[in-house]
């Protein structure tokens, strides 16, 4: 249940937008005129605050403050202060999150650190998992001697129960948008003696996550999707305090050292999640992210999640009228912040939509993904986009040579 009534006209969509509790949040974004942006599940748009903060960090803190800004502008504390903002969005303690590195690096660090604490040295990934998660598991198995189990979709928890190993699993599947039950999965992990490393990349900033209450202990996620941190924005690590004390990061970088500016030859880790920091943080990216997260200020996550799912319901309902198959769950409670529709000419259709000022994205082999980021996507945006999609499919407007030409990034 989302608390919304499915609109059956554009006027009904406009009425929902007018009374929506998130309606003012759209003004925080620097959205280009004439564009309906339905790709925030892949790269969120810029906020006015983030753009201003980058200018300040570059022109004043860097250009004028120079190295002094590590202290005077608080650069040294950004991984922790930004981590505290992220902690609120996943409902964990403020000191249990640190911003560092990329998702790929962080998944490697967490899975490697979990090898000594899991019941068995088995790394588990599902064949439907995001590719980098699979590659990380494969690479870690190759250098650690751990056993790699690549299992079929939705068989990861079964393998975890059998082995007591380490499961790397996205809360929201990148292709289908299917949502995992974190509490149920963590209960199974506890029973098996195994460990789950959660990938939050398509979940944070769109779902009402309650990781601490659900028993989640380890997670990483990106910040450039629903969190709008900018292209290549840094990732974050969550580690439950008790478990973190039992773990050692495989990358003993100086920012994870208990006293990095003592410059001692031996390594001593910081307490808690801070031990998973490694090298010097990217201050410009961190500054942009810090300001971007202010877009969530004053918003209830339950409202964010409910609107995203209601927008997704509208995508599915309109798609069915067009005759397109949705591979995302129909039940809103089982779906994240994007909806994937299937068509054998999906790539060309997406390009035709982009040419009309509507930007979704495509994932091979045939999935068209429509992101419904609730802070700035309106019900009328979805309605208008689906009207254009219907016209493109009906008239075969996608069947032009330029729409079939594959770009490097899809």
pLDDT for residue 321: 95
* pLDDT, tens only, 60-83: 999 999 999 999 999 999 999 999
What length does the chain have?
410
Annotated catalytic, 255?
Answer: no
178 confidence band (pLDDT: 50, 70, 90)? very high
Is 26 a residue of the active site? no
| pLDDT tens, position by position, 262-291 | 999 999 999 999 999 999 999 999 999 999
Q: Yes or no: say if 24 and 297 are a contact pair by the CB < 8 Å rule.
A: no
- The rounded percent of the chain whose pLDDT value lies above 90 is 99
Q: Among 225, 307, 309, 318, which one carries the catalytic annotation?
A: 225
Catalytic member of 37, 224, 236, 276: 224
* Predicted local confidence at residue 80, as pLDDT: 98
181 belongs to the catalytic site:
no
For residues 244-263, one letter each, b for 16 or more C-beta atoms within 10 angstroms of the residue's C-beta and e for the rest, the string is beebebbbebebbbeeeeee
Q: Which pLDDT belongs to residue 210?
A: 97
Average pLDDT over residues 109-137: 98
Give the per-residue pLDDT at 354: 98
Token duo for residue 204: 């944070």
Which DSSP state fits 94? Answer: G
- Per the prediction, the chain carries an average pLDDT of 97
Point out the catalytic residue in the list 217, 307, 318, 369.
369
Q: What are the C-alpha distances in Å from 232 to residues 101, 103, 182? A: 10, 10, 27
Residue 3 has a pLDDT of: 87
Rounded Cα distance, 221 and 349, in Å: 30
Using the predicted structure, report yes or no on whether residue 2 has a pLDDT greater than 80: no
Q: What is the pLDDT, as a whole number, of residue 122?
A: 98
Per-residue model confidence (pLDDT) at position 410:
86
Name every residue whose Cβ is closer than 8 Å to that of residue 269 and which is 6 or more positions away in sequence.
248, 249, 252, 256, 257, 258, 275
Catalytic annotation present for 199: yes
Q: Is 246 a catalytic residue?
A: no
What mean pLDDT comes out for the span 392-396? 98
CA–CA gap between residue 227 and residue 233 (Å, rounded): 10
How far is CA 268 from each of CA 19, 83, 274, rounded to the nearest angstrom? 54, 22, 12
Tell whether the model's pLDDT for residue 353 goes beyond 80: yes
Which of 199, 290, 313, 381 is catalytic? The answer is 199
All structural domains of the chain:
10-30+300-404 (3.90.1150.10), 52-296 (3.40.640.10)
pLDDT at 1 over 90: no
């Amino acid at each position: 249940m989302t608390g919304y009534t499915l609109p059956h006209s554009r006027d009904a969509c406009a009425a929902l937008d007018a009374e929506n509790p998130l309606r003012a949040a759209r003004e925080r974004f620097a959205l280009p005129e004439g564009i309906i942006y339905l790709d925030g599940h892949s790269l969120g748009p810029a906020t006015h605050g983030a753009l201003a903060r980058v200018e300040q960090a570059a022109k004043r803190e860097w250009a004028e403050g120079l190295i002094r800004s590590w202290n005077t502008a608080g650069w040294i504390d950004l991984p922790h202060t930004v981590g505290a903002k992220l902690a609120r969005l996943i409902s964990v303690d403020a000191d249990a999150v640190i911003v560092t590195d990329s998702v790929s690096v962080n998944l490697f660090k967490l899975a490697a650190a979990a090898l000594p604490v899991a019941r068995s040295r088995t790394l588990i990934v599902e064949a439907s998992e995001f590719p980098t998660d699979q590659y990380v598991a494969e690479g870690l198995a190759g250098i650690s001697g751990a056993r790699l189990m690549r299992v079929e979709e939705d068989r990861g928890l079964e393998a975890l129960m059998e082995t007591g190993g380490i499961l790397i699993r996205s809360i929201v599947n990148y292709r289908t948008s299917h949502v995992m039950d974190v509490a149920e999965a963590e209960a199974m992990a506890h029973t098996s003696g195994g460990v789950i490393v959660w990938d939050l990349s398509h979940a944070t900033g769109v779902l009402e996550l309650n990781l601490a209450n659900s028993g989640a202990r380890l997670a990483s996620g990106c910040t450039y999707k629903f969190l709008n941190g900018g292209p290549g924005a840094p990732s974050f690590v969550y580690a439950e305090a008790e478990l973190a004390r039992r773990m050692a990061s495989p990358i003993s970088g100086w920012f994870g050292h208990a006293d990095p500016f003592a410059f001692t030859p031996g390594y001593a880790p910081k307490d808690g999640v801070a031990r998973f920091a490694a090298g010097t943080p990217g201050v410009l990216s961190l500054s942009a992210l810090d300001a971007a997260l202010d877009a969530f200020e004053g918003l209830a996550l339950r409202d964010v999640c409910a609107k995203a799912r209601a927008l997704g319901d509208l995508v599915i309902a309109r798609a069915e009228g067009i005759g397109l198959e949705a591979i995302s769950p129909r039940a809103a409670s089982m779906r994240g912040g994007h909806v994937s529709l299937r068509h054998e000419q999906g790539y060309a259709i997406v390009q035709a939509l982009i040419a009309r000022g509507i930007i979704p994205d495509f994932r091979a082999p045939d999935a068209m993904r429509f992101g419904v980021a609730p802070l700035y996507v309106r019900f009328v945006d979805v309605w208008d986009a689906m009207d254009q999609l219907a016209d493109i499919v009906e008239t075969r407007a996608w069947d032009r040579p330029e729409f079939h030409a594959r770009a490097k990034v899809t």
